[in-house]
Amino acid sequence: MTQRPRLRPFTLGAVRVDDASVFARARDEMLHLARVYPVDRLLAVFRRNAGLDTRGAIPPGNWEDFGHPDERAWSEADYPGREHAPTANLLRGHYAGHFLSMLAMAAAGEDDPALQSKVDELVAGLVEIRDALAATGRYSHYGFLAAYGEWQFSRLEDCAPYGEIWAPYYTCHKLMAGLLDAYELVGNEQALGLANAMGRWVHRRLVRLDPERRQRMWSLYIAGEFGGMNETLARLSAAAEEPRFLETASFFDQESVLEAGASGTDILTDMHANQHLPQLIGYVDEYEQTGEARYLEAAKGIWDQIVPGRMYAHGGTGESELWGPPSTVAGDVGHRNAETCASYNLLKLARKLFAHTLDPTYMDYYERTVLNHVLGSRRAVRSDTSPEVTYMFPVHPGAFREYDNVGTCCGGTGLENHVKYQDTIYFHGQDDLYVNLPIDSELDWEEAGLRVRLRSGYPLGESITLAFEGIATEERTVHLRVPTWAAGDLELRLNGEPTEAKPIPGQYVSLTRTWRSGDELHLTTPARLRAEPAIDDPRQCAIFLGPTLLLARSELTTSLPFPLAGRQEADGGLITDTTATELLADLAQSGVVTLDGIEFEPCWSGQDTKYHMYVRSHDAEIAFGAVESGKPAVAIEILEEPSPSGWYTTAPTIRLHALEADASADTGDRLRLELRISGGDWQPYTAPVLVETEGVQRIEARVTDADGRTGTTGREISVDTTPPRSRATVKELGSSWEITLHATDEVSGVERVQWEGPGTFWGTFQEAFVRAIGPEPQVIEYAATDRAGNEEPRRRLVIPGKDGPR
């Protein structure tokens, strides 16, 4: 029994985001890439694998490359084993799948025949490749399509680890999803045929395995990552009217996740976020196709374990791709937070869960994340070759976004992210309309015979206006989501007149009528500046102006102090001497706002600055209030200057000053000073103290006068005086060496590792590199720098020449 969602999205072509919207910047840059990027480059890895002419095309690069020159398109049975078979780029093909999805979305959204024919060209190329693979007779089924042999799948069935294989079903999913998008969005029938055949091949492979084997496979770190295979197969089952694919989808059910989600048991700690997120989307599809409630319950249950307890201010999740402990945000800030493809999947999940439950909190998440993380993940530049999107969108002090990401997971999802901004603005039910996001846009609500224009100036405006054109033949209800950030007096007016409706932030406000041309619905949404504390540390706050997360521009790698104490209203509003309206005008005009001398930019800017997503509420260094009230006070002075990073890279000295209410009095021996470092015992203070302990230290000072009255103050200092340690590991690959550089720094963390060798410059190390063995020995120098700014002396690695000693 199928369970249709209560709401459905409109087609991509029915909604147009305004060219003046902030979202149009990223959309248009990505559409440019969709138009200029050659299909032959996407197909090159497939053609090489199938023995077809690559037409001189260079693959996209990075993860998406030709692989090792000695790699063969081994079948499921003749792979000689990793000792004898050099391989590389074993995820290749996934990027073409995402690119196909992007092209299909762009073609549907733009109604552009050139994009449509590019979809057709890419699909026709894949058909030719699939046929060439089938003609070899080497693969287990004619539906097999990949840019490598079938052996990765049989090795996964033997539970081969990540490293020997990558994630073969992940790539399979991206291809099948792209094909299904090409069919569903622009009606490419060939794509459905290919997806159908792939589905049959997948079914054949998995139906032979006992269920325990499949569970073991899916629990393998990375190797068993299958993206949203269950989602795509459930969709394919409906598109191809083939019930068997629903069974194939269920082969990917991961029982441990389903059970934990449905029972509300938290199992996410240390799990790979993006390995498991797409399957949750698939569970909602499986629920729709089968009516089995546990699928929906599981997806909702796991969602609740992520949002808000594992969510950073911009909506991202995870550290180094893994989830941390429950209800831990500030406590899980590292250097590699918030993988962008995880947010891509959370958004897909949020809109599906909303369509089934009508719970507006899913749309709160959607709005936060699509504006701040997703739009902010696209650099504000044009490129003919790169998606220019982030992988990690980090949240630590002094972070910066590393854009580009051709051929990575986030590069792939990033292609799609920016050409579908219109997909969640409006949903519709039987005869009603849901306006979910206040993005300037126009909707062709064909069923109702209406066009709806939304004007908001979002995210810099303070009202939403819906203007109707056309004449509805019957009454329709319009539900408008009142943004959670709206503050103060909210009013809904129809054609200038107040209505009975009571808008409540975070809820939908509804109005039913027979809509006609000239009707105008107007909601005031006053913005405010607010500080949102991290769930586990009220002193770490993200600053929002209306919906916009503000990033503090600063090179500091220690936490950035910001005066918050005493400025917060009970509802989280922040008291400033500038109104939110003035701040919004500043942002619109100059792209930045200045608060207490610190420059902030919107998280969605697409800029290259170093930033702080969280600021730290700082204590006053001197308890002035105490002085005024007649109590003694104390000040903490640090004799050295910190390095530009904010860290002390030499041990700092602390001096205390006592201040008495009556400045004329002789304070000499009547005041007693004490010092406490990082929660230790209070120690009498007589002379300046050197702080030699490394790390972030809490310094507290206390003063007591003759009458027993005390004053205290405290501040944090960050000390890292030792450089990081790096080492190189090498792997022999016959005629070359693969070199990987590792670095650790227990105190401030590693900022970067750099290296140079003959013919290279002192560049930042990103991933393992290969040096061919030449006649002469080669010297590779490398060194790491920590976030405090300490750099270790250069280390040397010597690669022997051909005839030299090993």
Number of residues that make up the chain: 806
Q: How far is the CB of 89 from Zn ion (least distance, A)?
A: 16
Pairing of β 763-764 and β 750-756: antiparallel
Q: Which stretch binds Zn ion (CB under 5 A): 56-64, 211-219, 290-298, 403-411?
A: 403-411
In this complex, which beta carbon is closest to Zn ion, that of residue 317 or of residue 718? 317
In this complex, which beta carbon is closest to Zn ion, that of residue 184 or of residue 339? 339
In this complex, which beta carbon is closest to Zn ion, that of residue 338 or of residue 788? 338
Q: How far is the CB of 663 from Zn ion (least distance, A)?
A: 60
Q: How far is the CB of 391 from Zn ion (least distance, A)?
A: 6
Instruction: Tell me: does residue 273 bind Zn ion (CB under 5 A).
Output: no
Q: How far is the CB of 342 from Zn ion (least distance, A)?
A: 7
In this complex, which beta carbon is closest to Zn ion, that of residue 64 or of residue 792? 64
Residues 6+ apart with CB under 8 A from 153: 76, 168, 169, 205
What are the respective helix, strand and coil percentages of the chain, to the nearest 5?
30, 25, 45
Q: How far is the CB of 178 from Zn ion (least distance, A)?
A: 17
Q: Which stretch binds Zn ion (CB under 5 A): 126-134, 202-210, 408-416, 621-629?
A: 408-416
In this complex, which beta carbon is closest to Zn ion, that of residue 406 or of residue 443? 406
The correct pick among 15, 329, 410, 587 for binding Zn ion (CB under 5 A) is: 410
In this complex, which beta carbon is closest to Zn ion, that of residue 318 or of residue 547? 318
Q: Which residue has the tokens 């986030």?
A: 410
Q: How far is the CB of 162 from Zn ion (least distance, A)?
A: 15
In this complex, which beta carbon is closest to Zn ion, that of residue 48 or of residue 94? 94
Q: CA–CA separation, 393 vs 370, rounded Å?
A: 13
| Radius of gyration for the alpha carbons in the chain, expressed in angstroms and rounded | 29
CB 200 within 8 A of CB 143: yes
In this complex, which beta carbon is closest to Zn ion, that of residue 413 or of residue 436? 413
Query: With contacts defined by CB under 5 A, how many residues of the chain interact with Zn ion?
Result: 4
Q: CA–CA separation, 488 vs 525, rounded Å?
A: 8
In this complex, which beta carbon is closest to Zn ion, that of residue 335 or of residue 513? 335
Residues 6+ apart with CB under 8 A from 646: 397, 398, 556, 557, 558, 560, 718
Instruction: Transcribe 176-242 into DSSP letters.
Output: HHHHHHHHHHH--HHHHHHHHHHHHHHHHHHHTS-HHHHHHHHTSTTTT--TTHHHHHHHHHHHTT-
Q: Which stretch binds Zn ion (CB under 5 A): 95-103, 142-150, 250-258, 410-418?
A: 410-418
x-marked contacts with Zn ion along 47-86 as a string, rule CB under 5 A:
----------------------------------------
Strands (E), 387-528: 426-428, 432-435, 441-445, 450-455, 463-470, 476-481, 492-494, 497-498, 508-513, 520-524
Q: How far is the CB of 610 from Zn ion (least distance, A)?
A: 22
Closest CA to 271 of 336, 229, 318, 230: 318
Grouping H, G, I as helix, E, B as strand and the rest as coil, residue 649 is: coil
In this complex, which beta carbon is closest to Zn ion, that of residue 275 or of residue 436? 275
Q: How far is the CB of 339 from Zn ion (least distance, A)?
A: 5
Grouping H, G, I as helix, E, B as strand and the rest as coil, residue 575 is: coil
Burial 513-544 (b: 16+ CB within 10 A, else e): eebeeebebbbbbbbbbbbbbbbebebbbbbb
Q: Quick one: tokens of 591?
A: 């792209």
x-marked contacts with Zn ion along 328-357 as a string, rule CB under 5 A:
-----------x-x----------------
In this complex, which beta carbon is closest to Zn ion, that of residue 18 or of residue 225? 225
Q: CA–CA separation, 538 vs 544, rounded Å?
A: 15
Q: Which stretch binds Zn ion (CB under 5 A): 104-112, 404-412, 545-553, 685-693?
A: 404-412
In this complex, which beta carbon is closest to Zn ion, that of residue 391 or of residue 445? 391
CB 217 within 8 A of CB 232: no
Q: How far is the CB of 374 from Zn ion (least distance, A)?
A: 13
Q: How far is the CB of 207 from Zn ion (least distance, A)?
A: 31
Residues 6+ apart with CB under 8 A from 330: 534, 535, 536, 537, 540, 614
The correct pick among 177, 258, 281, 409 for binding Zn ion (CB under 5 A) is: 409
**Residue numbers 431-470 binding Zn ion by CB under 5 A:** none
Q: Which stretch binds Zn ion (CB under 5 A): 312-320, 402-410, 450-458, 561-569?
A: 402-410
x-marked contacts with Zn ion along 773-802 as a string, rule CB under 5 A:
------------------------------
Q: How far is the CB of 414 from Zn ion (least distance, A)?
A: 9
Q: How far is the CB of 283 from Zn ion (least distance, A)?
A: 21
State the Cα angle at 253 between 250 and 259, rounded to 5°.
130
Closest CA to 124 of 65, 173, 52, 74: 52
Q: How far is the CB of 413 from Zn ion (least distance, A)?
A: 7
Q: How far is the CB of 409 from Zn ion (least distance, A)?
A: 3
Q: CA–CA separation, 151 vs 308, rounded Å?
A: 41
Q: Taking the CA of residue 722 as centre, how many other CA atoms within 13 Å lie in the half-sphere pointing to its CB?
A: 11
x-marked contacts with Zn ion along 293-332 as a string, rule CB under 5 A:
----------------------------------------
Q: CA–CA separation, 2 vs 285, rounded Å?
A: 10
Q: CA–CA separation, 356 vs 794, rounded Å?
A: 58
In this complex, which beta carbon is closest to Zn ion, that of residue 262 or of residue 409? 409
In this complex, which beta carbon is closest to Zn ion, that of residue 275 or of residue 697? 275
Q: Which residues of this chain interact with Zn ion, rule CB under 5 A? A: 339, 341, 409-410
